Amino acid sequence: MSAAQELPLEALEAGAPDRLSYWALVRVQFGKNRPAVWGLWSVVGLFVLATAAPLIAMDKPFLWIGEEGLESPLLGALFNRLIFENGVDIFFNLLLVLSPLYLLAAVALRRAGRFGVRGAGALVAAHLALTTLVVPETWFGLENPLHHEAPVVDYRARQVELEKAGEPATALFPPRRIHYRETDPERSVQPPGGSLWLGTDVEGRDVFVRMLYGTRISLTIGVVAVGIYVWIGVVLGALAGYLGGWWDVIISRLIEVMICIPSFFLILTLVALVEDRSIFQVMVIIGVTSWTGVARLVRAEFLQQRELEYALAARALGLPRWRVIFRHILPNALGPVLVSATFGVASAILIESSLAFLGLGDPSVPSWGETLNVGRLEMKYWLIFAPGLAIFFVVSVFNLVGEGLRDALDPKLRT
């Protein structure tokens, strides 16, 4: 099959078949795979859900018109460190508040014709930078002015009081008026029903709310862990493949050694040895133990590509080595890495929930695996199905996207 046959009509009509880049081709190909597209939209949906979680379930009202006039306790609570102390929550809360701004920026960039991988990357980087400004308690020893701690007011109780007093406040609460950490010993292991959409766990925490906020944890685990190991794998693989010689010998041995260690055993050991582990440590541990696959892929690609003419030309121009490696060859070697990273997100999520299932997670975050473990011990259907299906859904969605990408990148399958 020749290349011309494969091009979509629109591109031909635009009179610029030669301007359709490799990645544009991949995109067109991906678009034909309906399950994959559906998977991609589900991923987007999951991110939206994770971001909007406080709008769905939170114990503070959006709007409160009381004696002090109009206020929005929810907005303040989003950054109150006594209510959300976890970095993951801060990341998503910040995203929730700033999302209109980001959308505007994206639209503006698109108008200017610059909303590509770089534009999106810049937005993500900006948001990450903002989050790292907000999260820490101190900035190099100085107090962080963005670190906000305010007394926690129980608005639900206040409203009840005011109603008794006969002058109820006007309050607009989210549909579920509950925080994911809120325990209630009187409501332990309640089946679903009424306002309890998915029942409660042993400590009386609302399972639905924990599932909802657990989305944040799972998505972050997947993306961050994979981000870490893609970096390690790309750098090591590129060095081994491009430089060859001793670099290759040492890195290849290292890969061989790491592949033979059952990685789940290693992760278990590492996670258990860290005292008072946080979810970020879990991410780093998954990241530093899983890079071998990517390194092998990148090494193989580099071995092939470094002999090609364009690489030779870049070398002949006298460009510095790192530039040839990262700016010239790497973009051409990224295809398989992207596929493996997408599958990697699914498996990182699986690993984290397995750890939580074995009681080795971060107890302060609402992990799906932890709820499932409670379900196994209690043998209650709502504690088994809710987290189990949630994990299944997220994992299969990422697997679908990964398969779609793999097929789209494989020229043999192009139709």
Partner 1 sequence: MRAYVLKRLLLMIPTFFGISLVVFLVLNLAPGHPGGSQLASDLAASVKGAATDESHRIFREQFGLDRPVLLNTYLWLDREDVARALADMAGHEGATAADRIRAQQQIEDWGRWAVPHLVAEMNQSQEPLIRDVAVYTLRLASRRPLVDPFAPRPTPEQRAENQRRNAENEQVRSMRYALDAPEAEKERVIGEWNAWYAEAKPRFQPSGVDKLASFFLETRFARYWANLLRLDFGVSLVTREPVLETLIGKLRYSLSLSITSLLLGYLIALPIGIYSAVDKDSFADRSVTVFLFMLYSLPTFFVGTLLLFWFSEGSSVPWLRWFPIGGWQSPEAGELTSLAQMRDVTWHLVLPVLCMTYGSFAALSRYMRTGLLGVISSDYVRTARAKGLPERRVILSHAVRNGLLPVITLLAGLLPAILGGSVIVEVIFDVPGMGRWLIESIYQRDYNVIMATQLLSTLLVLFGILVSDLGYALVDPRIRYQ
Stretch that binds partner 1, among 96-104, 179-187, 306-314, 374-382 (CB under 8 A): 374-382
Which residues are bridge partners to 66 per DSSP?
69
Please, which residue, 183 or 399, has the CB nearer to partner 1? 399
Is residue 197 a contact partner of residue 210, using CB atoms and an 8 Å limit? no
Starting from the edge strand earliest in sequence, which strands make up the sheet with 69-71, in order?
A: 69-71, 63-66, 170-172
Under the binding rule (CB under 8 A), the answer on residue 346 touching partner 1 is yes
Is residue 349 a contact partner of residue 222, using CB atoms and an 8 Å limit? yes
Beta carbon of residue 257, minimum distance to partner 1 (angstroms, whole number): 4
Query: Which of 78, 228, 270, 314 touches partner 1 (CB under 8 A)?
Result: 270
List Cβ<8 Å contacts ≥24 apart for 329-332.
Answer: 329/238, 329/242, 329/301, 329/302, 329/305, 330/234, 330/238, 332/301, 332/305
Beta carbon of residue 216, minimum distance to partner 1 (angstroms, whole number): 19
Distances from the Cα of 62 to the Cα of 75, 79, 160, 170, 209, angstroms: 7, 14, 17, 11, 17
Place of tokens 């008794």: 164
Is residue 80 a contact partner of residue 148, using CB atoms and an 8 Å limit? yes
* Nearest one of 334, 345, 339 to 398, comparing CA atoms: 345
Under the binding rule (CB under 8 A), the answer on residue 396 touching partner 1 is yes
Query: Which of 120, 160, 172, 261 touches partner 1 (CB under 8 A)?
Result: 261
Beta carbon of residue 143, minimum distance to partner 1 (angstroms, whole number): 27
Under the binding rule (CB under 8 A), the answer on residue 353 touching partner 1 is yes
Query: Which of 110, 253, 315, 327 touches partner 1 (CB under 8 A)?
Result: 253
Beta carbon of residue 333, minimum distance to partner 1 (angstroms, whole number): 22
Which residues between 376 and 395 bind partner 1 (CB under 8 A)? 376, 379, 381, 384, 387-388, 391-392, 395
Cα–Cα dist 270/262, whole Å: 13
Please, which residue, 238 or 255, has the CB nearer to partner 1? 255
Cα–Cα dist 131/411, whole Å: 40
Which residues between 180 and 219 bind partner 1 (CB under 8 A)? none
| 3-state SS assignment for residue 63 | strand
Beta carbon of residue 47, minimum distance to partner 1 (angstroms, whole number): 19
Is residue 72 a contact partner of residue 55, using CB atoms and an 8 Å limit? no
Beta carbon of residue 267, minimum distance to partner 1 (angstroms, whole number): 8
Beta carbon of residue 254, minimum distance to partner 1 (angstroms, whole number): 8
- Supply 26's token pair: 């991949």
Stretch that binds partner 1, among 3-11, 127-135, 302-310, 370-378 (CB under 8 A): 370-378
Binding residues for partner 1 (CB under 8 A): 253-254, 256-266, 268-270, 272-275, 346, 350, 353-354, 357-358, 369, 372-373, 375-376, 379, 381, 384, 387-388, 391-392, 395-396, 399-400, 403
